[in-house]
Structure 1
Amino acid sequence: MFTALRSFARIPQLLRAQNPCRYNLNLLGQPSTPFPLFSRNMTLNQTMRKKPVKKKKNPRSPALEGCYQKKGVCTLLTTMKPKKPNSAQRRVARVKLSTGKTVFAYIPGEGHNLQEHSVVLVRGGRAQDLPGVRYKLVRGALDLGGVVNRMRARSKYGAKKPKTK
């Protein structure tokens, strides 16, 4: 088996005298399968018989259904405790999306003006220390106001530019 493969890898005597950069690849001989001979994580027999099966990636935010954002209505405002070693009360909202799915979304920034039945914009992105919270709310969009007195990274928190005197 391997002697046959070595013969494919050898350069014919006719081509050795020429410039090595100008080998005619058609004269070198082709492997018997259309797949690469030594692909990653496959034995030689597997490579000869079939190509590798690609794993399907699971989406990180499946409720958005491939969209960047979805509109939703707040059904519950509550707090959650983060995972160890952190200690705090993180503000989260249970949101019913326009698709009918219900998700928990993190409210970024300090303070908020949300109430039950507020209309919010939900984007993907998990809260790093809250298990099960895979979405965030967009500050400064729809009913959720921007963070007050925010000076740095204002665009992430929907804060307006302060008036200069």
Structure 2
Amino acid sequence: MVGTILRHLFSPPTRRLATLPSAKTTTTTTTTATPRVLLSRRPFSTTAPLSATLNQVLRGCRKGKRARHATSPALASANAPAMKGVCLRVGVVRPKKPNSGERKIARVKLSSGTHISAYIPGEGHNIQQHSVVLVRGGRSQDCPGVRYHLVRGALDLGGVANRATSRSKYGTKKPKKATVG
């Protein structure tokens, strides 16, 4: 008897078929097929499932990570890659500690109504107050609070003159070759 109990406890889990008693029919003489139901046993384990330690219970459940904020929130809220805006003020900002120089910045009112600060890339620019510009995402790393760039060569902001490399970023056409003869 002890052997059968141990064999029953330590045997791998099996699926057993059980039959349900069929309902007797009074009007027909044919018997209906007995339905079969799958009964599964939970596997026996000598180790208890892992439970939380006292410190884990006292500290409370784990908190999920906070969602990362958008680098360009005014564009992310509108779900747009770029947005049109009007320049309110054009000025110069000094960069953060290890860098020095003068970074050109424009204060822009977007078509959505939000006011932002945008970096003017490249050497020289032709925008002034009331100029219509195109704003894209992308922060200026050494200027605090500047999370946007202006698109050169779009709307009122012209491209960089005499630009030879990376011309597509600065709105400059390929220079025409001089014809001889």
Tell which structure's C-alpha radius of gyration is larger: 2
1:56 maps to a residue whose letter is A
- Could you tell me which residue of structure 2 aligns to residue 135 of structure 1? 148
Q: Which has the higher helix share?
A: 1
The change in CA–CA distance for 1:51 and 1:77 in structure 2 (over 3 A counts) is same
| 1:58 aligned onto 2:69 | yes
TM-score, normalised by the number of residues in structure 2: 0.63
Q: Secondary structure at the match of 1:77?
A: strand
Q: Structure 1 CA distance, aligned partners of 2:144 and 2:117?
A: 10
Q: Structure 2 CA distance, aligned partners of 1:13 and 1:109?
A: 76
TM-aligned CA deviation for residue 114 of structure 1: 0.4
| 1:158 aligned onto 2:171 | yes
1:158 maps to a residue whose letter is G
The change in CA–CA distance for 1:51 and 1:129 in structure 2 (over 3 A counts) is closer
Q: Structure 2 CA distance, aligned partners of 1:86 and 1:123?
A: 24
**Runs of 4+ that moved beyond 3 A:** 43-46, 50-54
The change in CA–CA distance for 1:57 and 1:160 in structure 2 (over 3 A counts) is same
TM-score, normalised by the number of residues in structure 1: 0.69
Aligned residues: 131
1:144 maps to a residue whose letter is L
Counterparts of residues 6-155 of structure 1 (less than 5 Å): 53=64, 55-64=66-75, 65=77, 66-155=79-168
TM-aligned CA deviation for residue 51 of structure 1: 8.8
The change in CA–CA distance for 1:53 and 1:100 in structure 2 (over 3 A counts) is same
Unpaired runs of at least 5, structure 2: 1-9, 13-40, 44-48
**Identity across the alignment (%):** 56
